Amino acid sequence: MKTVVKFGGSSLASARQFKKVGDIIRSDKSRRYVIPSAPGKRNDKDEKVTDMLYQCYDAASQGRSYKKILEKIIARYQEIIDGLDLNLNMDHEFQRIEEDFLAKKGRDYAASRGEYLNGMVMANYLGYEFIDAAEVIFFDENGSFLAEATNTELAERLATADKAVIPGFYGSAPDGSIRTFSRGGSDVTGSIVARAIHADLYENWTDVSGFLVADPRIVPDPQVIETITYKELRELSYMGASVLHEDAIFPVREEGIPIHIRNTNKPEDKGTLIVENTCRKPRYTVTGIAGKKGFCSVFIEKAMMNGEVGFGRKVLEVFEKQGISFEHMPSGIDTMTVFVHQTEFIQHEQSVISGIHRAVQPDLIDLESDMALIAVVGRGMKGNRGTAARIFAALSHARINIKMIDQGSSETNIIVGVKNDDFERAIKAVYDIFITAEL
Ligand code: ASP
């Protein structure tokens, strides 16, 4: 059995955290490929090493003083090395990094050093081989990830490495320069490695015990989701729930490899298993509830619209020309409504209105701002009658007006639109009717 284990920044923020990670890895022989993030925050007031590296690089490359922050970064690693009693001297690494910063090797290069150095510490601590991600993870000259070239190289390289540490977050471009994924990208590296070695499992260790049914800032102490499908996860993350980098799903999904979210500080907790498909019955009808504020609706009415072939396309083309993507588009007999992100829309508002007039000569265009969208997601909803009724009843009891409803025929996602001001209360009401009431 082969397991890829990725540890997030807070799991590797100090020597104490490293020891927990060491225990976790040593407790299961299948944990052979390790992907570390850079050291994260040790407490709320602390700084992530990645952020410090960006600051240090900006100062050094702009001729400002950078020594103080560099000393702080060095001290973070030294604390870990000393706390683990390692015989590891990284002076020459730091010298090289300083030279490279002064030579303006790039912000991506700077940020990547957090993972690079942590990978070296981790490999030394575990006695695993260190493989520099720059040698096995590839980007093109524009910084787009090259999935297939990477997969071939990684598979070949890891075939000869029984146990290895591969730092997360970065790789290299054809000219040898370092490129990174977007923030939180070590999750993506873990997924890429899992795909390349045909791992049985990709464990993603973090500081929470899995995905929560709802945002804990809105619902106090929400339940943890035990099993979730990639599809449900995609829908919930799209609507704002975040634990895992979005792009981390695609590589493992192609191979049907499950991702297991675990808590480094509570390894006894079950965590959340993310799978392609499962017969495991979900505990509740609804797997998760997530949402976002800040939408605007553009309502368009025209008598006999339904008979006008191409009406929808012409309207959407107006948005497309302004570079605005739409979120949802419920329609009626002679009406259609396009939901867009308010901040994106506002700058182009007047051009869109005049564009629609020109394109389809509507009878009426009406705008409504400050709307929130809430997604109620769950494979358990399929073929189960009464789910929508329960959502609407819950919202009506909470005296919340529903502005929009959208359910695709996959029956695994119902989206409701409410006013921004009702957002939190709406999520609580839906949580209570599906989870609290079923506990
Ligand atoms: N260290 C990087 C960040 O802070 C990448 C990661 O942690 O996944 O975004």
Of 141, 175, 197, which residue is a domain's last?
A: 197
Atom 6 of ligand 1: nearest residue by CA position: 184
Is the residue at 283 inside a domain? no
Ligand 1 binding pocket includes 14 (Cβ within 6 Å) = no
Distance of CA 438 from the midpoint of ligand 1 (Å): 37
Of 138, 166, 197, which residue is a domain's last?
A: 197
- Nearest-atom index, ligand 1, CA of 51: 4
Q: Are residues 294 and 428 in the same domain?
A: yes
Atom 1 of ligand 1: nearest residue by CA position: 38
Ligand 1 binding pocket includes 204 (Cβ within 6 Å) = no
Q: How far apart are the first and last CA of the chain?
A: 36
Counting Cβ atoms within 10 Å, is residue 277 exposed (0-12), middle (13-18) or buried (19+)? exposed
Q: Are residues 303 and 178 in the same domain?
A: no
Is the residue at 165 inside a domain? yes
Ranking 121-135, 358-372, 401-415 by mean pLDDT, the lowest is: 401-415
Q: Are residues 294 and 192 in the same domain?
A: no
- Nearest-atom index, ligand 1, CA of 38: 1
Ligand 1 binding pocket includes 32 (Cβ within 6 Å) = no
**pLDDT range class, residue 101, cuts 50, 70, 90:** very high
Q: Are residues 192 and 307 in the same domain?
A: no
Ligand 1 binding pocket includes 227 (Cβ within 6 Å) = no
Q: Are residues 164 and 308 in the same domain?
A: no
Cα–Cα distance for residue pair 70/74, rounded to 1 Å? 6
Is the residue at 27 inside a domain? yes
**pLDDT range class, residue 133, cuts 50, 70, 90:** very high
Ligand 1 binding pocket includes 36 (Cβ within 6 Å) = no
pLDDT at 410 over 80: no
Ligand 1 binding pocket includes 114 (Cβ within 6 Å) = yes
Question: For 225-278, what is each residue's pLDDT tens digit?
Answer: 999 999 898 888 877 777 899 899 999 998 999 999 999 999 999 999 999 988
Distance of CA 325 from the midpoint of ligand 1 (Å): 28
Mean pLDDT of 300-304: 94
Q: Are residues 191 and 309 in the same domain?
A: no
The per-residue b/e assignment along 375-411, b for 16 or more CB within 10 angstroms, e otherwise, is bbbbbbbeeeeebeebbeebbeebebebbbebbeeee
Q: Are residues 424 and 295 in the same domain?
A: yes
- Nearest-atom index, ligand 1, CA of 183: 9
Of 160, 182, 197, which residue is a domain's last?
A: 197
**Residue 409: CATH number of its domain:** 3.30.2130.10
Is the residue at 255 inside a domain? no
Is the residue at 240 inside a domain? no
Q: Are residues 174 and 46 in the same domain?
A: yes
Ligand 1 binding pocket includes 266 (Cβ within 6 Å) = no
Please, what is the average pLDDT of the chain? 95
Q: Distances in Å between the alpha carbon of 124 and those of 73, 88, 130, 204, 271?
A: 19, 8, 8, 21, 28
Distance of CA 248 from the midpoint of ligand 1 (Å): 13
Distance of CA 45 from the midpoint of ligand 1 (Å): 18
**pLDDT range class, residue 437, cuts 50, 70, 90:** confident
Ligand 1 binding pocket includes 188 (Cβ within 6 Å) = no
Q: Are residues 185 and 332 in the same domain?
A: no
Is the residue at 383 inside a domain? yes
**Residue 73: CATH number of its domain:** 3.40.1160.10
Question: For 140-199, what is each residue's pLDDT tens digit?
Answer: 999 999 999 999 999 999 999 999 999 999 999 999 999 999 999 999 999 999 999 999
Question: For 278-290, what is each residue's pLDDT tens digit?
Answer: 888 888 889 999 9
Ligand 1 binding pocket includes 37 (Cβ within 6 Å) = yes
SS3 string, the chain, reads: CCEEEEECHHHHCCHHHHHHHHHHHHCCCCEEEEEECCCCCCCCCCCCHHHHHHHHHHHHHCCCCCHHHHHHHHHHHHHHHHHCCCCCCCHHHHHHHHHHHHCCCCHHHHHHHHHHHHHHHHHHHHCCEECCHHHCCEECCCCCECHHHHHHHHHHHHCCCCCEECCCCEEECCCCCEEECCCCCHHHHHHHHHHHCCCCEEEEEECCCCCECCCCCCCCCCCECCEEEHHHHHHHHHCCCCCCCHHHHHHHHHHCCCEEEEECCCCCCCCEEEECCCCCCCCCCCCEEEEEEEEEEEEEECCCHHHCCCHHHHHHHHHHHCCCCEEECCECCCEEEEEEEHHHHHCCHHHHHHHHHHHHCCCEEEEEEEEEEEEEECHHHCCCCCHHHHHHHHHHHCCCCCCEEEECCCCCEEEEEEEHHHHHHHHHHHHHHHCHHHC
Distance of CA 38 from the midpoint of ligand 1 (Å): 6
Is the residue at 207 inside a domain? no
Ranking 46-50, 74-78, 409-413 by mean pLDDT, the lowest is: 409-413
Q: Are residues 181 and 292 in the same domain?
A: no
What's the total number of domains in the chain?
A: 2
Q: Are residues 181 and 56 in the same domain?
A: yes
Q: What is the pLDDT of residue 238?
A: 79
**pLDDT range class, residue 401, cuts 50, 70, 90:** very high
Q: Could you tell me the residue range of the domain that residue 55 belongs to?
A: 14-197
Is the residue at 276 inside a domain? no
